[in-house]
Amino acid sequence: MILLKLAISSLYNRRASAFLTLFTIAVSVMLLLSIERVRVDAKSSFSNTISGTDLIVGARTGDIQLLLSSVFRIGHANNGVSWQSYQYIKQQRGVNWTIPLSLGDSHKGQAVLGTSADYFQHYKFAKKQQLRFSQGRAFAHLNEVVLGAQVAAKLGYSLGDSIIISHGMGNTSFHHHNDNPFTVVGILDATGTPVDKTLHIPLAAIEQIHSTNHHTGHEHEHEKPTDLIGNPKQITAFLIGFDSPLYTLQVRRNINQFKNEALLAIMPGVTLRELWEMLTIVEKILLLFSMVVVLVSLLGMLTTLLASLNQRRRELAILRSVGARPWHLFALISIESLLITFLGCLVGCGLFYLLMALAAGYLQSHAGITIIIAMLSSYELMLIGAIMAAGFIVGLIPATRAYFYSLSDGMSIKI
Amino acid sequence: MINIKQLSFTWQKQQINPTIAITSLEIAKGEHVFLHGPSGCGKSTLLSLLAGINRPTSGQLSILGCELGQLSKSKCDKFRAEHIGYIFQNFNLLPYLSPIDNVTLGCQFSKPRQIKALINSPTLNQEASRLLNALGLDEQLHQQNVASLSIGQQQRVAAARAFIGSPELIIADEPTSALDANNRQSFINLLFAQANEVNSTLLFVSHDTSLQPLFNRNIDLVSLQEQDK
The secondary structure element, H or E, covering residue B225 is helix B221-226
Cβ-in-10-Å burial (0-12, 13-18, 19+) of B122 comes to exposed
- Is residue A273 in some structural domain? no
Q: Which domain holds residue B106?
A: 32-47+81-226
CB A21 within 8 A of CB A304: yes
pLDDT, position B207: 81
| Any B CB within 8 A of A94 CB | no
- Is residue A272 in some structural domain? no
Amino acid at B185: Q
A328: chain B residues, CB-CB within 8 Å = 109
pLDDT, position A230: 61
Phi, psi of B167 (to 5 degrees): -70, 150
Task: Search chain B and give the residue with CA nearest A408.
Answer: B53
Amino acid at B50: L
Phi, psi of A83 (to 5 degrees): -60, -35
List A242's β-bridge partners, or say none. A95
| Any B CB within 8 A of A375 CB | no
Task: Kindly state whether residues A209 and A239 are assigned to the same domain.
Answer: yes
A6: chain B residues, CB-CB within 8 Å = 94, 97
pLDDT, position A301: 87
Task: Search chain B and give the residue with CA nearest A9.
Answer: B96
Q: Specify the 3-state DSSP secondary structure of A56.
A: strand
Question: How many domains would you assign to chain B?
Answer: 1
| Cα–Cα nearest to B2, from B200, B212, B207, B224 | B200
A322: chain B residues, CB-CB within 8 Å = 81, 86, 105-106, 109, 161
Report d(CA A367, CA A287) in Å as an integer.
19
User: For B111-129, what is the mean pLDDT?
Assistant: 89
Task: Kindly state whether residues A127 and A233 are assigned to the same domain.
Answer: yes
Task: Kindly state whether residues A142 and A198 are assigned to the same domain.
Answer: yes
CB B42 within 8 A of CB B220: no
Report d(CA A212, CA A70) in Å as an integer.
25
Q: Using one digit for the tens of pLDDT, what is the confidence trace for A271-291?
A: 988 888 888 888 888 888 888
Q: Which domain holds residue A80?
A: 55-266
Report d(CA A349, CA A345) in Å as an integer.
6
Report d(CA B201, CA B193) in Å as an integer.
12
- Is residue B1 in some structural domain? no
CB A90 within 8 A of CB A82: no
| Any B CB within 8 A of A215 CB | no
CB contact under 8 A, A324 and B109: yes
CB A24 within 8 A of CB A301: yes
A322: nearest CB among B73, B74, B161: B161
Task: Output the CA angle B177-B182-B187, nearest 5 degrees.
Answer: 65
B53: nearest CB among A10, A319, A411: A411
CATH of residue B95's domain is 3.40.50.300
Report d(CA A362, CA A378) in Å as an integer.
26
Report d(CA B54, CA B69) in Å as an integer.
9
| Residue to test with chain B: of A10, A320, A321, most B Cβ within 10 A | A321
Last residue of a domain, one of A245, A266, A287: A266
> In which region does residue A107 sit, left (phi positive, over 0), alpha (psi from -120 to 50) or beta (all else)?
beta
Task: Kindly state whether residues A71 and A182 are assigned to the same domain.
Answer: yes
Cβ-in-10-Å burial (0-12, 13-18, 19+) of A2 comes to middle
A2: chain B residues, CB-CB within 8 Å = 105, 108-109
Reported as a pLDDT band with limits 50, 70 and 90, residue B175 is confident
Question: How many domains would you assign to chain A?
Answer: 2
Last residue of a domain, one of A209, A240, A266: A266
Please report the number of interchain residue pairs, chain A to chain B, with beta-carbon separation below 8 angstroms. Answer: 71
- The tens place of each residue's pLDDT in chain A, 415 residues long, gives 788 989 999 898 889 989 999 999 999 999 888 888 888 888 877 788 888 899 999 999 889 899 988 988 887 777 889 999 999 999 988 899 999 999 888 888 888 999 998 999 999 887 788 889 999 999 988 889 999 988 898 888 999 988 887 666 555 545 555 566 889 999 998 887 888 889 999 988 887 776 654 444 444 444 444 445 567 788 999 999 999 988 999 999 999 998 888 999 999 989 988 888 888 888 888 888 888 988 888 898 898 888 888 888 878 888 887 878 888 889 999 999 999 999 999 999 999 999 988 888 777 766 667 777 788 888 889 989 999 999 999 999 999 988 887 655 545 544 3
B110: chain A residues, CB-CB within 8 Å = 323
- The CA distances from residue A54 to A51, A240, A267, in Å, are 8, 6, 6
- Is residue B15 in some structural domain? no
pLDDT, position A219: 40
| Any A CB within 8 A of B47 CB | yes
Task: Kindly state whether residues A86 and A165 are assigned to the same domain.
Answer: yes
Report d(CA A168, CA A175) in Å as an integer.
8
A window 312-331, beta carbon within 8 A of B? 314-315, 318-326, 328
Report d(CA A29, CA A279) in Å as an integer.
23
CB contact under 8 A, A325 and B109: yes
pLDDT, position A366: 67
State how far Cα A323 lies from the chain centre: 58
ipTM value of the model?
0.80
How many Cβ atoms are within 10 Å of B144's Cβ, its own excluded?
15
- Closest approach of chain B CAs to the CA of A20, in angstroms? 19
pLDDT, position A377: 86
